[in-house]
Amino acid sequence: MDLLNKLTSAFNASDKLEKEDDSAATDTPAVLKHTRNNDVLKSMLNNQPAPLKTGDVATGTLIGRGVATIFVDLGAKGTGIIFGREFYQAQDLLRGINKGDNISGKVVDPDNDDGYVELSVKDAGREMVWQRLDEHKKLGTNLKVKITAANRGGLVAQVEGMQAFLPVSQLSATHYPRVEGGDKDKIYGELQKFVGQEFEVQILDFSPQEQKLILSEKAVEKTELSGLLKDYKVGDMVEGTVSGIVDFGIFLRFGPDDRLEGLAHISELDWQMVQDPGSLFGVGEKIKAKIIEIADGRVSLSVKALKPDPWQDIAERFPKGAEVGGKVIKFSPFGAFVELAPNIQALIHISEFGNEMRMKEVLELDKTFNFRVASIDSKEHRMSLKLAKEEEQQTNSETVKEDIESDVKEAKVQEVKEKETSQESTEQKTEQDTGAQE
């Protein structure tokens, strides 16, 4: 109806212009008049918005109310109507909307029997929320959310009425639960402390079909700190405060107001083998470290890099083939670690013994034995050992002794078996002879 009225007005205006033109020049060719009318028609049709279809979201102005009915002016797209079930399902929302206010609805029927566009406010609200969430994700918008619950995997929040999940892995360094040993019960206990607090997050992922909305606090932190990290590069020395100690290393906060945080892996804490990071450092302790990597907003640190490298002259101190004394400090499935000097450890491989049981019979923890240097890689800080001649001879003699004892046992068993077989044969022969005599 709106389109027809506009076309009628346009043609009336065109006719008026034609009459004025005719009075000025009565000899205007008829073909030009026809062409001008066609141009007006084309212009009107080209300027018309695309027709609505089921599922579209339309926005208009509330122009009237009826019994359980609301009318919406959609402009050139027609007149919308919200009535019946759609009205009652959204009546709490509609109660706060007055004449002249804008209102959006999802198209249920673009052209019903009465010529109206049937709308659903409830469905449109949900659809528009997902559209806004998609926009937030694309723009990387920071959103403030209130934590409503916690579980063993993370935190639960609400975003525009939608339930959202914030995984533990997406928490910022400030809120990440640093629990020794990764005990899930303790992690859950730490997460529960955040219920009721307000977090600033970004949308990491979502799916309207699965009703899934995943948040990330780490993304906000990464965005904020990326500017601060520009002032640092690999090789810089930083001074900071130990903010956490875990099985695999320590966390160090540094930079302006200690806003940046890096991890020093257990292998980067000291030149010697470290079993427990807590034995070297304490939370709140001020230490220095060297930046060895910056990647994806994560900073890797090294404490030992600021100490002299004890492996620099290792080839001179422990030349290949030399016999050395060392204390066994650790057993592993692939061999034994031996301390030759402070901060210098070497490995004697399990193949030197044959198996783990035999290795533990020959060597003992915290005791010193003689070894021979088999190979050295000073760049990679690796040294392999072999048993010294004395230890090797002892191992070989014990192995030979075990082999002899094993052979003797086997021979005795064989002898017994042969006697039993001979006795059975004799008994069978006696039974046969007795039967023949009878």
Q: If you write DSSP's letter for every residue of 118-144 in order, what string do you get? A: EEEHHHHHHHHHHHHHHHHHHHT--EE
Q: Percent of the chain beyond pLDDT 70?
A: 76
pLDDT value at position 62? 92
pLDDT value at position 436? 41
Question: How many residues comprise the chain?
Answer: 438
Above 90 in pLDDT, residue 424? no
CB 342 within 8 A of CB 336: no
> Residues 243-260: pLDDT tens digits?
888 889 999 999 888 888
Q: Residue 106: in which H helix or E strand, if any?
A: strand 102-109
| Residues forming a β-bridge with 339 | 327, 345
Q: DSSP string spanning 375-430? A: EEETTTTEEEEEE-HHHHHHHHHHHHHHHHHHHHHHHHHHHHHHHHHHHHHHHHHH
Above 50 in pLDDT, residue 404? no
Q: Residue 111: in which H helix or E strand, if any?
A: none
With the C-alpha atoms ordered 104, 107, 108, 113, is the resulting torsion angle positive or negative?
A: positive
For 421, other C-beta atoms within 10 Å of its C-beta total 10
The predicted model gives 101-122 an average pLDDT of 88
The predicted model gives 283-304 an average pLDDT of 92
Q: Which parts of 140-217 fold into alpha helices (H)? A: 184-192
116 burial (CB, 10 Å; 0-12 / 13-18 / 19+) is buried
Q: CA 418, 424, 427, 428: dihedral to nearest 10 degrees?
A: -120
Q: CA-to-CA distance for 251 and 269, rounded, in angstroms?
A: 11
> Residues 170-192: pLDDT tens digits?
998 788 887 766 788 888 999 99
Above 50 in pLDDT, residue 339? yes
Nearest 5°: the CA angle 356, 360, 361 is 115
CB 290 within 8 A of CB 306: yes
With the C-alpha atoms ordered 359, 365, 370, 375, is the resulting torsion angle positive or negative?
A: positive
pLDDT value at position 37? 57
pLDDT value at position 360? 92
The predicted model gives 277-281 an average pLDDT of 92
Residue 181 CA: distances (Å) to CA of 130, 178, 186, 247, 298: 39, 9, 10, 6, 22
pLDDT value at position 11? 45
Please, what is the angle between helix 30-46 and helix 2-24, to 10°? Answer: 150
CB 361 within 8 A of CB 354: no
Question: Which residues neighbour 109 within 8 Å (Cβ) at sequence distance 6 or greater?
Answer: 54, 117, 118
Q: Residue 262's closest CA among 306, 296, 216?
A: 296
Q: What's the mean per-residue pLDDT of the chain?
A: 80
